[in-house]
Structure 1
Amino acid sequence: MSENSRRCILSGDKDARDGLIRLALGPDGMVAPDVRARAPGRGAWIGVDRAALDAANAKGKLKGALARAFKSGAVDAPADLGARIEDALRQDALNRLGLEARSGKLLTGSEKIEAAARSGQVRLLMHASDAGTDGNRKLDQAWRVGSGREGSAERGMVLPASRTILSLALGRENVVHIALTDRAAAERVAQAVSRWREFIGSEAEAEPCAKDAQGPSALNAHDGDGMGEDKGFEISR
């Protein structure tokens, strides 16, 4: 196993650290999510989704795997560990979006996103869970045109968060669509969001798409209601 890879204690599969979720052991013997992998001491890693984790926890399989990982029989997992991990991953992703917004590397507002997308400046496109289908489709098409993939089925990702949640996270009004115009920022956001989505069982996955560009900073969004359709997202390079 390489220095940057870890093995899931439930499935036995290996993956990069960034693709797994670390669990830390508290002084009381309870495990807790350590999604930033910063807690001291030995850690246990999981790469399964919440449904699989909850099932393993209910059947006692998780406790046995944790005891082996921490080399201690005095280890336990709270019954709501899956919910705690989901909440931690959600908060980590929203915090990352907020940081990128404050650094000026994130766009909101349909008109500004569409202009940046058509000129090839958008590297990652995302929509709120309650964004309108027509608004999503319009920006998806602009992104495909700017990325040189017109005619493909590629589209932005629908986040598992409403415009209200995104607006609070970014400190802006009515955030319906989000675009990242900086490559490194897009990769940071994609990594945080991907772990969140994969854990809750989302089917969308990130794929690279070749395109270099840089873009402007952000302002506000203004779009209609409705539910967007979640099909996937790519990072434009």
Structure 2
Amino acid sequence: MTADPIRTCVLSREEAPREGLVRLVLGPDNQVHPDVRAKAPGRGGWIGVTRVELEAALAKGKLRGGLARAYKTGDFTIAADLPQRIEDQLRRNALDRLGLESKAGFLIVGGDRIGEAARSGKLRVLLHAADASEDGSRKLAQAWRVGSDREGSDLKGMTLPIDRTILSLALGRENVVHAAVTDPKAAKRVSEALTRWLHFIGPDPAPLPCETGSQGASAASADDARGPAGTNEGP
């Protein structure tokens, strides 16, 4: 299996797999554009910093200097809204990934289904909408720890910075409060997309829980009463 290509952040000079960085491409219009899927033609530079750090580097001219070295030219323009455009692309990429995994049958919603998957050792990632009840999320996390024989650990689901309305739209479902990924490869794809987005918007979250062993989760009645409860660089 080929290792992920390593790239160097033009700002921090730290090396990391390209899957964890964001590519900035120099377009034919001499503008710098975000290319989070790393598919656009043209010269590219990579960043692995947060939005706050990027905005500071942009204001101080450090981003221009780093990109000039990567592009081997200083003939380009950086729009003031570049950080927002990067965030928008990362958000869309992450939500698209969730939608693709849902369509492929690797992502499930509904407390009963999540509980069944957990008890049969299929739960890999557990996600909560921002407006999920604390009690519901806590019960699911506790059930996951019990089912994966990790009681007393800090294993828990990830609360996303989107509410159930947006999560439901991304998955093409109604009233999604919690979601879970059951396929190990899909879990890796989802984790990469979500972690890159969440790292950029900050504050930097803990690594997204992603399990490959037997896990457990159960339904949370408080969320079920309101409705159904509950990641690639794709082609």
The alignment's TM-score, normalised by the length of structure 1, stands at: 0.86
8 A contact 1:25–1:43 mirrored in 2: yes
Q: Percent identity?
A: 57
Secondary structure of the residue aligned to 1:139 is helix
The DSSP-based 3-state class of the residue aligned with 2:80 is coil
* Residues 160 and 3 of structure 1: CA distance in aligned 2, closer, same or farther (over 3 Å): closer
Q: Give secondary structure in 2 for the equivalent of 1:206.
A: coil
Q: Which moved more, 1:145-154 or 1:23-32?
A: 145-154
Q: What TM-score does the superposition give when structure 2 sets the normalisation length?
A: 0.87
Residue of 205, 224, 230 corresponding to 2:207 = 205
Distance in 2 between residues matched to 1:47 and 1:58, nearest whole Å: 17
d(CA) in 1 for partners of 2:212, 2:108:
20
Equivalent residues of 1:29, 1:74 under 8 A apart: yes
Match in the other structure for 1:232:
none
Query: Per the alignment, do residues 164 and 171 of structure 1 end up closer, same or farther by CA in structure 2, a change over 3 Å counting?
Result: same
| Contiguous gaps of at least 5 residues in structure 1 | 214-220, 226-237
Q: For each residue in 1:70-124, what CA deviation from the matched residue of structure 2 results, as whole angstroms up to 9, or x when unmatched? A: 0111112111111110000000000000001111111101222123223322011
Return 77-86 or 144-153, whichever deviates more. 144-153
Q: How much has 1:212 moved relative to structure 2?
A: 5.1
Where does residue 105 of structure 1 map in the other structure? 106
Residue of structure 1 equivalent to 2:193? 192
- Does the aligned pair in 2 maintain the 1:54–1:82 contact within 8 Å? yes
2:138 aligned partner = 137
Q: Is the 8 A contact 2:168 2:176 kept in 1?
A: yes
Alignment partners' CA distance in 2, 1:212 and 1:151: 16
Q: CA contact under 8 A between 1:135 and 1:224: conserved in structure 2? A: no
Q: Which residue of 1 aligns with 2:22?
A: 21
Deviations 1:183-209 (Å, cap 9, x if unpaired)? 111111010000000111132213554
CA distance in 2, matches of 1:66, 1:43: 8
CA–CA distance in structure 2, aligned partners of residues 207 and 133 of structure 1: 18
Question: Which residue identity is paired with 2:17?
Answer: A
Distance 1:173 1:134 in 2: 21
Alignment of 1:1-237 (within 5 A): 4-201=5-202, 202-206=204-208, 209-211=211-213, 222=224
CA distance in 2, matches of 1:121, 1:198: 27
- Relative to structure 1, the CA distance from residue 210 to residue 106 in structure 2 (aligned partners, 3 Å threshold; closer, same or farther) is closer
Residues of 2 paired with 1:76 and 1:65: CA distance? 13
1:153 is displaced (CA, Å) by 2.0
Structure 2 gaps of 5+ residues are: 216-222, 228-235
2:11 counterpart SS class: coil
* SS of 2:92 mapped into structure 1: helix
Rounded Cα–Cα distance in structure 2 between residues aligned with 1:95 and 1:45: 22
> 1:3 and 1:62, CA in 2 relative to 1: closer, same or farther beyond 3 A?
same
Deviations 1:141-190 (A, max 9, x none): 11111211122221011111111111111110001101001111111101
Q: For 2:212 and 2:4, how far apart are their aligned partners in 1?
A: 29
Equivalent residue letter for 1:90: R
Q: Conserved in 2, the CA contact under 8 Å of 1:109 and 1:175? A: yes
Residue identity matched to 2:48: G
